[in-house]
Amino acid sequence: MTIVLSSFGKLNGQVIHLITEDGMPVSRTVIKHDSNSSLQPYGVFTTEYISVSKLGKHIPEGVFIQSQGYEGVFVDIYATDTIRVYLRTSKHLLNTVLVSSSKGKKKYRDVPTSLVKIKPYLIENRNNTELTEVINQIPSVTIIDNQASIRGGSGWSYGSGSRVMVAIDGLPAVSGDANQVQWQFLDMQNIQSIEVLKGASSVLYGSSALNGAINIQSKEATDSLTGNVNTYFGFYDKPSKDSLLWTNRTLLKYGLNSYVSFKKKKMDYVFTTLNVVDNGYRMAEESNRSRLGANLKYHLTDSMDIGVKINGMYNKGSTFLLWESAGYGYTALDSSFNDNVTRRLAIDPSFNRIGKKVEHHLLGRYFILDNDIYQADTLSQQSNSSNFGYVEYRGATDRLLSLGQFTYGVSYSNSTTNSPLFQGIQKASNAAAYLQAEERIGKWFFSAGVRYEQFKLNNRTEGKPVIKTGVTYTPRPFTILRTSYGEGYRFPSIAESFIATSVGPVTIYPNAELKPESAWNAELGIKQGFKVKGLSGYADLALYYSEIEDMIEFTFAQWASVITPQNSFGAGFKSINTGTATILGLDFNLVGTYTFKGNKLSLLAGYNFNDPRSKNPNQIIARDSQNAPLSYASTSKDTLNSYLKYRSIHSIKGDLQWERGDWTAGLSVRYASFIANIDRAFVSFPIGSVILGIEETRQQNKNGNIIMDFRLSKSWNHGLKTAIIINNIQNRLVMERPADFQAPRYFMFQVVKDI
């Protein structure tokens, strides 16, 4: 029997809602007559909401639905507004769709490097206000002072560029002046998935991907109107030490966010808003920010579209860098601080054409950053502004001329800044071309790529090629063996080369002679999937080794030739090339779900052993203004093991979530072992004599730091959900970098209403 939609009269508002067992978004869904049908499908869709009217005028009473990575299911078409279809994960882990490895859709079995895909529940249920809080929960990934590090590739260097590229839909999410990730600017309401690619990824993602890449995929617009309003109210608890209490008022953090998505004729619409008021837990660290976002797309044909994303943010607040002392760790040094007003605007146009054999993508970004900083010390003006322009053409072929898959493209970026902070007008640009080829031969999959980048910083020009190779072997459906080799190349940012400022007693000096960093990474790994009754998931083990030549780090010394008490006797920090660094490690990850008697447990956990060292710690890496030689060892607190600064040797992270009916509960744990090495200047004259208690606090945490977060939520009728979230439930004092205690316990109550 066939239903005639126009006469049946129930279809204009009827939708099929696809709900996946593992909470992942659907990527490609085919709807046809039955599982063996050779007829033309009723439709191919990429959203979780599918309007029945789009299946055509005549369809049978039932259809077969097949979505990538999930088991097929036959569904009856019946008279109700919403048909909910539950998709069970496919028995083949290898079918999981990824995008980061080749900037196109790829399966786990075809990815030769370590890659973790973050499920949406970890983003939604923790109610994080910044993406750093989600990323920090990923095994072997850390963020210190907004600087991301994968497998110990970076430590802490205030204001330096990133060795991890963060991309949104393939576009770099960094500023033009410092090549720093703009975490607060990222749209938390519009994230479909997050993929973390570990190891050198410069072939596809450019110079900032020296140690890896974090690729964020935005949500696609839904066929019918969907969305939610999320509001929350919370407060910081009193610190565990009475002396840390710097105010008697209750310190609040609350906000209101929204997300709306729909399609109308040939247009796709996604709108987001964010409003956050954060009193901060430290003196002089407030933040009041608002952001508006719009993602618009027009479908010229079924295979071609044009679009634009627009995001703008306004933030008014103040900053905190160094404490008064360990006993007054939440009080700013000398009770001084900077007020700042920050404006950010990003306009991202795009054009996409998806052919049967060839894909064409044209992407662009224009990013404006404007920081107005108000301070008493007019000799250290820190206000700055920068413009960043980026354009990329990316193409891909699939079995063209019976060959493998090719990904290729060219990109160009240009940055301009005008600020006393960077000594006036500075200009930087980058031009690149890349090619990656992939081919499957039976159980083997081969991948190889090359990229050439040319940098220009004012009148200075340099360039270098980098390569990447990888092989995977799948001896059986649930086992993936892999090996890879990748190179990276990172040119110094405008900030690293030209920054000249002071923060309290700390002066920062420029270095226009910085050399680029070069790196290579090798990995050998195995991913073992499992599915036994209600238990499914995978375990991943990787051994890795990397080297970074001419590694750039802030280094303390007497850099000024003119020595006065006003400039701290010429002492301060400057970015210099510190020689060659080596990192040897082991990375273990466990991801899975277990369903039993109406309960569901979801786990994301991992352990990382990291052995980061200076290859030649006694090598002379620079000379100060008095011509005294400097080495990595002489500028480090730890001189015995040659460890790199601000790295933990051991880290363990885990997130366990329980679901039963309308109830959900979760526990997150993060452990980092003692950081053996920091800059010697923080525990000796002159900084150690002014900023007190750093070494004493470090020694109190010789066993490492552990933080635990808890969440509990209940879903009600009419799309309403309430939640209680407690971060740092033990109220522990944690210092991730010198003179910087992290947040005390925080209580939050959340209410979410679906549209």
pLDDT tens digit sequence for 31-66: 887 766 556 778 788 778 888 877 776 666 778 888
- Considering only residues 180 and 619, tell me which one the structure prediction assigns the higher pLDDT: 619
How far apart CA 327 and CA 310 sit, in angstroms, is 45
pLDDT band for 8, please (50, 70, 90 cuts): very low
Query: What is the per-residue pLDDT for 10?
Result: 42
Please report which confidence band the pLDDT of residue 514 belongs to, taking 50, 70 and 90 as the band edges: very high
Q: What is the pLDDT of residue 28?
A: 75
**CA neighbours closer than 13 Å in the CB half-sphere of residue 699:** 6
Looking at residue 456, its pLDDT comes to: 94
d(C-alpha 524, C-alpha 544), whole Å:
7
Per cent of the chain over pLDDT 70 is 89
The reported pLDDT for the residue numbered 129 is 82
Q: Going from the N-terminus, what domains does the chain have, and what CATH number goes with each?
A: 2-90 (2.60.40), 94-213 (2.170.130.10), 214-754 (2.40.170.20)
Give residue for tokens 């920062």: 508
Cα–Cα distance, 51 to 29 (Å, whole number)? 13
Peptide bond into 686 cis (omega under 30): yes
- d(C-alpha 738, C-alpha 333), whole Å: 13
Query: What would the mean pLDDT of 73-86 be, rounded to a whole number?
Result: 74
Residues facing 679 on adjacent strands = 636
- Are 149 and 162 a contacting pair, CB within 8 Å? no
The 10s digit of each residue's pLDDT in 387-401 is 999 999 999 987 666
Q: Does residue 243 contact residue 327 with C-beta atoms inside 8 Å?
A: yes
- Report how far residue 176's alpha carbon sits from residue 427's, in angstroms, rounded to the nearest whole number: 9
Q: What is the pLDDT of residues 11-22, one digit of tens each?
A: 445 788 888 765
For residue 442, report the phi and psi dihedrals to the nearest 5 degrees.
65, -125
pTM, two decimal places: 0.85
| Res 438 pLDDT > 80 | yes
Note the pLDDT tens digit of each residue in 540-589.
999 999 999 999 998 989 998 877 766 667 888 899 999 999 999 999 99
Residue 5 has pLDDT above 50, yes or no: no
Q: What is the pLDDT of residues 168-183, one digit of tens each?
A: 988 999 888 888 888 8
Residue 96 has pLDDT above 60, yes or no: no
In tens, the pLDDT along 111-150 reads 778 888 887 777 888 888 888 888 899 999 998 888 889 9
What pLDDT score does 62 carry?
A: 78
Beta bridge partners of 554: 575
pLDDT-derived band at 414 (thresholds 50, 70, 90) equals very high
pLDDT in tens, 202-231: 788 887 788 889 989 888 888 889 899 999
Q: How many degrees, rounded to 5, is the angle at CA 586 between CA 92 and CA 577?
A: 125
d(CA 552, CA 664): 45
**For residue 467, pLDDT beyond 60:** yes
Residue 188 has pLDDT above 50, yes or no: yes
- Residue 378, pLDDT score: 45
Q: How far apart are CA 254 and CA 642, in angstroms?
A: 44
Q: Which residue has the higher pLDDT, 346 or 113?
A: 346
What is the DSSP-derived secondary structure letter of residue 661?
Answer: T
Of 509, 519, 520, the closest CA to residue 622 belongs to 509
pLDDT category at 102 given cuts 50, 70, 90 is low
Question: Is a pLDDT exceeding 60 seen at residue 1?
Answer: no
| Pairing state between β 424-441 and 328-332 | unpaired
Give the per-residue pLDDT at 2. Answer: 36
**pLDDT over threshold 50, residue 3:** no
Q: Residue 689: is its pLDDT beyond 70? A: yes
Rounded to a whole number, what is the distance in angstroms from the first to the last CA of the chain?
Answer: 35
- Among residues of the chain, what percentage have pLDDT more than 90? 50
- How many CA within 13 A on the CB side of residue 424? 1
- Residue 640's pLDDT is 86
pLDDT at residue 588, rounded to an integer? 97
61-65, 349-353, 687-691: range with highest mean pLDDT: 349-353
Q: Which two tokens stand for residue 151?
A: 């497998």
Host H or E run for residue 297: strand 287-301
375: Cβ contacts below 8 Å, ≥ 6 apart = 338, 339, 382
Instruction: Report the pLDDT averaged over residues 588-598.
Output: 92
Q: Report phi then psi at 402, rounded to 5.
A: 65, 15
Instruction: Decide if pLDDT at 637 tops 70.
Output: yes
Q: How far apart are alpha carbons 302 and 613 in whole angstroms?
A: 53
Q: How confident is the model at residue 200 (pLDDT cuts 50, 70, 90)?
A: confident
Question: 699: part of which helix (H) or strand (E)?
Answer: helix 694-700
